[in-house]
Chain A
Amino acid sequence: MLKIEDLFVEIEGTRILNHINLHIGKNERHVIFGPNGAGKSSLLMTIMGYPRYKVVQGRILFKDMDITHLSLDERAKMGIGMMHQRPPTIKGLTLMKLMEVFGKEKTAQEASEKLKLNSLLNRDINCNFSGGEIKRSELFQLFIQNPDLFMLDEPESGVDLGNVEVMGNFVNELLEENLKIKHRKRSALIITHTGFILRYVTADKGYVMVNGSLIGMGNPLQILKEIEKHGFDRCAECLI
């Protein structure tokens, strides 16, 4: 589904990602751990196509097509969807209005009930939303967008424990957990700082990102245990 080959990325001339290689197959869920500022979000922003993130070397393939130079909307239309960590407020544009743009008012009404989002539908997007409301609104938009690759940027941050479960269950639904493995088609790339989300969502492969590089690859739960024991730095060492 997604293949990243030897990727180097800069923002305004400063290198932020080095030598990234990543291969996510159909129905695979990959998790990236890492300290704040390691470059995890930058990787997602680069895959999504945010123009500030300049690819200086390497390429990104999605569904066997080189998307390195495609625009944000073209990538989204091909099936890449992203849950943003700090999305901007858009005054005057309600979530419901956005659903009308997609022509998905009915589906939206149903999904909003599951995510306890009804009260947010007629508010301006992200305007005075709490941390948890932002997460729910992002997941809701992804549900409507219905991508093949879900990129989730710290889905559990700023959400209280009770709601992490609601959200985890919804993520599972998005990733077709209810279907038999052979019937699942969707893939995910999840960033997590705390690892809480792994209590609810199962993942296949894990990595640690330090200073803009992906280090090692292993069982996500084992990596999480190592991180809990030794912290990110030592863990990065043991993975090398």
Chain B
Amino acid sequence: MLDIGKNICFIEDSSINIAEEHAGVAVLPVERASKDYLWKIAPRDDIYQKEETGIFLNVKKDIILKEPLYASFLIHKSNRQIIHNVIVIESGASVHIFTGCASHRQEGSLHFSTTEIYVKKGALLTYMMFHDWNKNSEVKSHTFIRVEEDATFVSGYLSLHPVKVVDIDSHLQLNGKNATSEEATVIYARENSVYNIDTHAFLNAPNTRTNIVSRNITNGGIVHTEGQIVANAEKTKGHLECDGLMLSNRGKICTIPALESNVADVELSHEAAVGKLSEEEIEYLMSRGISYEEAQSLIIKGFINIDMPELPLSVKKQIKNIINLLDKNGF
């Protein structure tokens, strides 16, 4: 079940005995994480953490993984999953993680997770999370990230299928100079789905940069996003971009961008827009001989196709496949 370098699979709470270390990548039970990392950036009382289950993923110094690590979290039989993960990318390492979370159960299920991520000096981590729950799933996912000097953190969150409630809260600390981050969320909210997405980024060291992008589509669901950038050091840059697309009068999109600076020499900006599909764009494509339906689907696919140059080709292809599959089933 466990193939280091390719797949990490986690079913229910702790049905797999994880203890692997191979080629500079260690995947261990979370309690094996050092006290330096365990509950260091996440509050101890975060969500419902009584049990200590989950993984400790440690990529050693200067290890460069070209192919992504796949981590899957499945709810198979039981009705809940409570996870605490700790990810430590040591200095100079470069890692791509693709996380998928899904539920087989049609009845209600709960998935709570707390993730602590440490990206050390000069390291690169790209972290894609793809959710494929069902209409009765409730999800709470809290992520705490600390990025050191010259390190880069890139994250993407994609949720395109029905779900009952998703609460995502991420706190990113850029603590070393020249640290950069890019965070993107793409949500397609269907009828009876509710999303609450909070993203916070703190620019705590000089020359740190962050870019937060969210693209939300509703076809009947509710999407509430809050983005916040706080600048605590000079020569920092932050940009927030929130775009919402209403496919009909059903559903709701609410977006709240917030910028806060405690020093003078910073560049913080935000742009936010909510609206319907542009008839002008559809007609333009139709004038090239493309049908109304195809034009609409091309524009929606474009809207949710966020360009993240740091992602490896294989991950980009996966994302493309996921979006095409959604398109096949009809937006």
- A contact residues vs B (CB 8 Å cutoff): 48-51, 71-73, 76-77, 81-82, 84, 87-88, 90-93, 97-98, 101-102, 124, 141, 145
Contact = CB atoms under 8 A, between A and B. Distances in A.
B283 A82 contact: no
Nearest to A79: B289
A41 to B, nearest CB: 13
Nearest to A146: B289
Given A73-B292, A93-B302, A101-B298, A88 B287 contact: no
Contacts of A50: 283, 287
11 contacts: A72-B283, A73-B295, A82-B287, A90-B302, A92-B299, A92-B302, A92-B304, A92-B306, A92-B307, A97-B302, A102-B288
Interface string B283-312: 111111111101100110111111100000
Contact of B290 (A73, A81, A91): A73
B280 interface: yes
A192 B75 CA distance: 65
- 7 shortest interchain CB distances as A-B pairs: A92-B302, A76-B289, A93-B302, A72-B286, A73-B286, A92-B305, A88-B280
A88 B284 contact: yes
Nearest to B294: A101
Contacts of B302: 90-93, 97, 124
Nearest to B298: A93
Interface string B268-288: 000000000010110111111
Q: Interface of chain A, helix or strand or loop or mixed?
A: mixed
Size bracket of the B interface = 20 to 34
Contact of B288 (A51, A124, A145): A145
Contacts of A93: 298-299, 301-302
A93 B290 CA distance: 14
Given A72-B286, A73-B290, A88-B284, 18 more contacts: A48-B287, A51-B283, A71-B292, A73-B291, A73-B292, A76-B286, A76-B287, A81-B288, A84-B284, A92-B299, A92-B304, A92-B306, A93-B301, A98-B288, A101-B290, A101-B294, A102-B288, A145-B288
Contacts of B304: 92
Contacts of A97: 298, 302
A16 B278 CA distance: 24
Contacts of B295: 73
Contacts of A51: 283
A73 B289 contact: yes
Contacts of B278: 88
Interface of B: 278, 280-281, 283-292, 294-295, 298-299, 301-307
B284 A90 contact: yes
Contacts of A84: 284, 287
A206 to B, nearest CB: 25
A92 B303 contact: yes
Q: Which of B283, B292, B299, B301 has the most CB of A within 10 A?
A: B283
B216 to A, nearest CB: 14
A1 to B, nearest CB: 17
Given A51-B283, A72-B283, A84-B284, A145 B289 contact: yes
B292 to A, nearest CB: 7
Contacts of B284: 84, 87-88, 90
B309 to A, nearest CB: 11
A141 B286 CA distance: 13
A181 B301 CA distance: 44
A87 B278 CA distance: 12
B286 A71 contact: yes
Contacts of B289: 73, 76-77, 145
B316 to A, nearest CB: 13
Contact of A76 (B281, B288, B299, B301): B288
B281 A90 contact: yes
A87 B285 CA distance: 10
A102 B304 CA distance: 21
A98 B307 CA distance: 17
Nearest to B305: A92
Contacts of B292: 71, 73
B261 to A, nearest CB: 28
A81 B281 CA distance: 16
A185 B243 CA distance: 46
Contacts of A101: 290, 294, 298
A92 B286 contact: no
A49 B282 CA distance: 13
Nearest to B302: A92
A67 B33 CA distance: 71
A93 B288 CA distance: 14
Contacts of B305: 92
Contacts of A73: 286-287, 289-292, 295
Contacts of B294: 101
Nearest to B301: A92
Contacts of A82: 287
Nearest to A147: B289
